[in-house]
Amino acid sequence: MKHIMAFMVMMEIAILSTALAMVASQALPRCDDRCGDVQIPYPFGIKEGCYLNQNFSITCNKTDRNGPPKAYLMQTNISVTNISTNGELHVLQPVVRTCYDKANGSFVPNESNFSVPAMFPISGTKNKFVTIGCNTAGLIAGYLQESLYGSGCISLCLNKSGVVNGSCSGSGCCQLEIPNGLTNLSLAVTGLLNFADVRTFNHCGYAFVIEADRFQFLSRYIENFEEEVEVVLDWGIRNETRIECGSNARRTNSIFNGTQYRCQCLDGYEGNPYLRHGCQDVDECKYPWLNDCKHKDKCSNTEGNYTCHCPKNFHGDGRKGGKGCTKNSTSSIPIIIGIGVGLPVLLIATTTIYLGYKKLKFIKQKQLFFQKNGGFVLQRQLSQWNSPNDMVRIFSQEELEKATNNYAQDTIAGKGGFGTVYKGVLDDGLTIAIKKSKFMDESQTSQFINEVIVLSQINHRNVVKLLGCCLETQVPLLVYEFVTNGTLFDHIHDTTKHVPLSWEARLRIASETAGVISYLHSSASIPIIHRDIKTTNILLDNNYTAKVSDFGASKLVPKDQTQLTTLVQGTLGYLDPEYLLTSELTEKSDVYSFGIVVLELITGKKAVRFDGPEEDRNLAMYVLCAIKEDRLEEVVEKGMVSEANMEQIKEVAKVARECVRIKGEERPSMKEVAMELEGLRATKGEHSWANVNLSSAEETVYLLDGASESSQLVGSGSMSTVGNSIKLEITLMEHGR
């Protein structure tokens, strides 16, 4: 027993010595490779000349007289706990806390910003967002591929016994997965309900992002939780920064959408691949668990690999998982003859069986994908809604791969947070657009089927035409007509690529869009609520004709109903406040969103923005304030106003103001809006709303601040039961990038 213990100690010492030797070679020569307990590998470094560039600099400060120095990222207060050459950076992030104020009888909302350089995004695969507390709402926001992202979850509990260890599914604790590439993180937390029995054991709520493997919920956390948690960031080298990977290393380019790369040691090597000789050969024979030789004493180390040998009078590869070792035969002639005759027969039989199996597997896989992607549900729904099946063409997988040259990079027409649109050309010369999601789960399958069903009901010149779909692939595809001239958002806000639209063109686009929505509400075979009207979902063709798109969130309304209770979904800035508070979806929700689009056309400004004073962040509030103060001409986009059209612009502003009224019942129908706009195009005379005082202030508009044109808000349930005057206010702060 003593000998065994001694041997184990010697093994541990040997392994530790090897690890220390490799750790010592992680930094450049004559450079400090540690800051306290943290190893600092190149391209990171502490002193100038020891790091690749300023983004990889580490500040090493001694903050505690009795403790070791601590490492901080660049000149920030972000504490670094671990740096690995495989592209992970572990840092500490403060926990956002809100506590119950007994004096006021409510929670004090709190928020925190976690600003790291854009080249160090939050790892979506390694972290998760967590909210702890009873009746506590946690919100998370940041940048995702140059667009604002926002989400959140709510943790509820009615009594202490309902909170159990290990469960983070909504009772005392809720958690969310976060997307890869999230930067400029903002967190906020607030209490929702004020139940006295809950406050006796839960005084505070917490929100934070934490490394997923480091968090296990305990019920005592609702009473007290730590102040800092560990978060994993991703890092790489920007493409414009040219450095050579070390010997025995290779470069990986598919990092952060191809904008950055990393160096990686080849198989059989370990160390720092960013140093010239940082990757050293691993002696697999020295450690039994690193090789699969059947006879451990017959292992020979080679550069980057190893070889297994057989004992004398045996032959084979010597591996456990291979042929092993076979005793040599005295006569190999019968074996050679048998192999010579049997091998061709076996090869022919195996090939035949394999091809048949492969064909059968391919057919079954296509059938499985068809069923998984809702093919039978789609057929049943189309039959239920009496949709003509010949209007929805079913494309084969091979047909779309050929049209896009196997989805080549140069066929990408656009990218979004949830997928990619490819441009393709069919054999008959028809140009198409293929909508391909990044991933698909069961919840998205219903949304996909919904979009097919909705679009199959629509036959309108100002709606992007659905040509068909493909259900044979792992992720189902939608095939549309290709609209050539980009989005209305691009033409309004990106003047570097597009000529500014004239007022006449803008009024025509508004009128066409209003006509489409009116058609959806009033003239379609089954009324349709689009639910996501915004400038990015309005496409333009070469004649600047409006084409409304993206019906993934739309709802078909039974003829005997005027409103639906749904999961709250839409885009901040365009989202109907009444719908947000009640979850009751009506046609007037589309009217509100359309009003915001008209205000964008008039002002040339985004629905929400951060480039001005705080009171001007919300477009609707900004314009209505200008109307109230009789200074509409100041907010109209410069260069668009003339003596001939200013009165017309004022009339259109009246239409927009009526559309964005807080109470849905006070808004006009889309049919009235479409008729009014068409009338304004035809004449500059008086219209039905001409007697409305443009500067009146009959109501106070209460809107949500924050989020860009692509940020999505999803919630559930009505919040009217929380109190007589509950108000939600979400502020997504923009940080320097």
Of 714, 692, 676, 514, residue with least CA distance to 594? 514
CA pair distance 708, 149, nearest whole angstrom: 8
**What residue type is assigned to position 232 of the chain?**
V
Q: Given the DSSP bridges, would you call strands 568-571 and 712-715 parallel, antiparallel or unpaired?
A: antiparallel
**Which SS3 state, helix, strand or coil, does residue 238 take?**
strand
CA distances (Å), origin 496, targets 225, 490, 506, 638: 50, 10, 18, 16
The C-alpha torsion from 602 through 605 and 607 to 608, rounded to 10°, is -150
- Its sign, for the CA torsion 667, 673, 676, 680, is positive
**Which SS3 state, helix, strand or coil, does residue 440 take?**
coil
**What residue type is assigned to position 420 of the chain?**
T
Please say whether the beta carbons of 104 and 176 come within 8 A. Answer: no
To the query of whether residue 532 is one of the catalytic residues in this protein, the response is yes
Catalytic, out of 281, 532, 576, 590: 532
Rounded to 10°, the helix 503-518/670-682 angle is: 150
Please say whether the beta carbons of 561 and 586 come within 8 A. Answer: no
CA distances (Å), origin 286, targets 241, 297, 545, 669: 38, 10, 72, 79
Of 533, 565, 514, 562, residue with least CA distance to 677? 514
CA 447 to chain centre: 17
CA pair distance 653, 670, nearest whole angstrom: 15
CA pair distance 135, 137, nearest whole angstrom: 7
Please say whether the beta carbons of 584 and 723 come within 8 A. Answer: no
**Which SS3 state, helix, strand or coil, does residue 583 take?**
coil
- Other C-beta atoms closer than 10 Å to the C-beta of 479 total 26
Q: Give Rg (Cα) of the chain.
A: 32
Please say whether the beta carbons of 127 and 209 come within 8 A. Answer: yes
**What residue type is assigned to position 313 of the chain?**
N
Q: Tell me which DSSP letter residue 45 carries.
A: B
Rounded to 10°, the helix 375-384/442-456 angle is: 30
Q: Residues 571, 572, 574, CA angle at the centre, nearest 5°?
A: 70
Helices (H), 644-735: 646-659, 670-682
Tell me which residues are annotated as active site.
532
